Structure 1
Amino acid sequence: MVDTRQLGRQPGSMRTVNRIVTVPQAFSSAMAVVPEGSEIELDLRLEAVMEGVLVTGTVRGQLTAECSRCLDPISDGIEAEFQELYRYPADEDAAPGESEDEDDEDEDYYLEGELLDLEPVVRDAVVLALPLTPLCGPDCPGLCSECGAKLAEAGPDHGHGDDVDPRWEALRKIAEDPGER
């Protein structure tokens, strides 16, 4: 939660906030995660506008994952940017019919008194920035499909011979001696 009292409701006023917070629940995708309890850094710019408070920010943290090719553990930095408008609570004295469509209200974020809850916005930004197929390096050759050995460690001469399926033996003989039939 970020307190906006110092910002006021005067459109055009602005303040910056830098905070280090603990991740309450893991931010994760299928193959990468910012673990629960790890720290992330938030650089925020809060701007008062007519409709509410515009929050522009950057979040930085550390992710852990497994290489999608060789399954080695990976620890890397992650940075995500976001921008979201937190609307002032609806005026209870407004005339009927003046309120916005209820479908639009489900997608909006609202200030809770003078506080704004950044967790859902930060979570969405971080999860969208997580790599879908993390790699330990761009040239990672992965694992051998036959034995599961790491190809980077096995070397260029790694092979399994000419283990031919016996069902294909007749075709192999024809390929070797096309003149005999």
Structure 2
Amino acid sequence: MTMSHRHLNPRSGLVIDTHELGRRVGAMKEIQRIAEAPDGIGTDVIGVPTGSSVEFELRLESVVEGVLVTGAAEVTLTGQCGRCLEPISFDEEIDLQELYLYPDKEPDDEEASRLEDDLLDLEPLLRDTVVLDLPYTPLCRPDCAGLCPDCGANLNADPDHAHDDRIDPRWAGLSGWAADPDDEDEAAMARNKE
């Protein structure tokens, strides 16, 4: 997870002050808080609405390299069903874990998260974890029947939905040439005379 290079606002619900932990290895702090979701968490099909509540239950532990954050966040996901295009909304709990390095520690990875003036930013962690946890094709229910490929009707609302047999467009011009019953009788009588 990459720490953002913007100045962190300690009043933001997504920024946590770790000053109380100090650098005492083994020091621990548990946090429960509700924050507003930032914009842009998700895809065009499903995501976390901007400004919606995100409930955090976190444990912060001071370790040699920095502060280890573990816990969970509960978010509301909204979007469209990938089969029937109906609106969907459901709560999702995601597990969080990230090590935030002290500024003076050399990271093994360039993209390691870092503390900034004893502050840590949960936004990149939340964003990355939620996006990786999103369903590829969100569904309103596991057995969603989707839409009729011919007319677009919602097959969940009308499971008995049906159409007449499709006529091959190459033969559609001949569909009006159905045999007239009188012509068939005349043809049969002509065959009998022979």
| Letter of the structure 2 residue corresponding to residue 124 of structure 1 | D
Match of 2:165 in 1: 162
1:78 aligns with 2:92: yes
Match of 1:143 in 2: 147
When the two structures are superposed, what TM-score results if normalisation uses the length of structure 2?
A: 0.76
1:112 aligns with 2:126: no
Give the ranges of 4+ consecutive aligned residues of structure 1 lying more than 6 Å apart after TM superposition. Answer: none
When the two structures are superposed, what TM-score results if normalisation uses the length of structure 1?
A: 0.81
Match of 1:54 in 2: 68
Inter-partner Cα distance in structure 2 for 1:4 and 1:140: 46
Inter-partner Cα distance in structure 1 for 2:57 and 2:123: 14
Match of 2:52 in 1: 38
- Whichever of the two has the greater Rg, that structure is 2
TM-superposed CA distance for 1:154, in Å, is 2.2
Inter-partner Cα distance in structure 1 for 2:144 and 2:79: 15
Note the alpha carbon deviations across 1:41-96, whole angstroms, 9 max, x for none: 111100000011001121101110111111111010011112111111126xxxxx
Q: Is the 8 A contact 1:78 1:130 kept in 2?
A: no
Identify unmatched segments of 5+ residues in structure 1: 92-98, 170-181
Inter-partner Cα distance in structure 2 for 1:166 and 1:85: 63
Q: Is the 8 A contact 1:79 1:129 kept in 2?
A: no
Note the alpha carbon deviations across 1:103-160, whole angstroms, 9 max, x for none: x2x211111011111110111111112222111111111111001111122232x222
Q: More displaced, 24-33 or 120-129?
A: 24-33
| Letter of the structure 2 residue corresponding to residue 167 of structure 1 | R
TM-superposed CA distance for 1:167, in Å, is 2.8
Note the alpha carbon deviations across 1:7-31, whole angstroms, 9 max, x for none: 1211011110011000121311241
SS at match of 2:129: helix
Q: CA RMSD in A?
A: 1.7
Q: What is the count of residue pairs matched by the alignment?
A: 158
Inter-partner Cα distance in structure 1 for 2:169 and 2:79: 41
Q: Percent identity?
A: 52
Inter-partner Cα distance in structure 1 for 2:169 and 2:39: 53
Query: Residue 124 of structure 1 is aligned with which of 119, 122, 128?
Result: 128
Inter-partner Cα distance in structure 2 for 1:15 and 1:110: 18
| Letter of the structure 2 residue corresponding to residue 159 of structure 1 | A
Identify unmatched segments of 5+ residues in structure 2: 1-14, 173-194
Q: Please give the residue correspondences for 1:6-17 in structure 2 after superposition, counting only pairs within 5 Å.
A: 6-17=20-31
